[in-house]
Amino acid sequence: MDLAQLQNRLGYQFRNQELLRQALTHRSHSGQHNERLEFLGDSVLNCAIASLLYERYNAQDEGDLSRLRANLVKQQSLYEIAQSIELSQYLRLGEGELKSGGFRRPSILADTFEALLGAIFLDADFATVCRVIHSFYIPRLQSVDPATLGKDAKTLLQEFLQSKKIPLPQYQVVATHGAAHNQEFEIECIVPKLDIRVLGRGGSRRAGEQDAAKRALDAAREASAKAPGGNKRPRRATQLKLLGIATVQSDAPAPKPESKN
């Protein structure tokens, strides 16, 4: 296995190549696997990201910084970074994991990336691994809004409506589909003042509410942008209540009454 390209993508050349190979080794492959390195890398990553956020966002309080860090170090974020360096082609997996597609599994890829960070820390020092971490995260932070990153759709919708002095949305279960062990919930989100009614779906009531809230937020922002002055109540609108679609359209002028003969 040629690991030169991986090291180029990481921006770090290992002095101890055996340490690199161990970081890439899943427990299904051999006894000399990467779980201890993953444990170390997780701690290093959290510390490096905490330091980065502390320096970059000096106006954010502890709660916001904690939420930001949690979002940046979660499995999905690590998986996306692992995908960006094509880490899957370098994994050392056992036969069973290879057959079951373990090289595509987000948890394995995220854990392996953390193990690589732990290996870099041992091979060099904390300052070096911080530089590697920053090279992946600083570009991502360029497009991040620290006020919203990590907040769920229901929270964002609530904050948006409160900023416009609009009453909070209403959620209700419209229907459930499927067997009891595999149900899908259809949830309606209603914002009466903006004449918004949208439907969302999810594998749980919470997931359905989040989906509906996201669609309602998109519609509320669109309605607010179209309103005169950007913050006044829009004209009474016609709703198109379609699954997953919410639009706000101005009603056409009412036709003039026919003259009596």
Give the model confidence (pLDDT) of 80-136 as tens digits.
999 999 999 999 999 988 888 888 899 999 999 999 999 999 999 999 999 999 999
CATH superfamily entry for domain 4-141 = Ribonuclease III domain (1.10.1520.10)
The pLDDT of residue 258: 53
Global pTM reads 0.64
**Continuous H helices in 85-125:** 95-99, 106-123
Q: How far is residue 168's CA from residue 224's CA, in Å, rounded to a whole number?
A: 15
Q: Which of 42, 188, 209, 211 is catalytic?
A: 42
CATH number of 153-250, picked from 3.50.50.60, 3.30.160.20, 4.10.320.10, 3.40.5.10? 3.30.160.20
* Tens digits of residue pLDDT in 161-190: 998 899 999 999 999 988 877 789 999 999
The catalytic residue among 114, 123, 209, 211 is 114
Please, which pLDDT band fits residue 250 given cuts at 50, 70 and 90? very low
Q: Residues spanned by CATH 3.30.160.20 within the chain?
A: 153-250
Catalytic site includes residue 186: no
Is residue 114 flagged as an active site residue?
yes
pLDDT higher for 148 or 126? 126
Asked if 133 and 190 count as a contact pair (C-beta separation under 8 A), the reply is no
The H or E element that residue 201 is part of is: strand 196-202
b/e per residue 214-238 (b: at least 16 CB within 10 A): bbbbbbbebbbeebeeeeeebeebe
Q: Give CA–CA dist 241/196, Å, rounded.
A: 9
- Two tokens, residue 155: 């929270």
Residue 236 predicted with pLDDT over 50 = no
The DSSP output letter for 200 is E
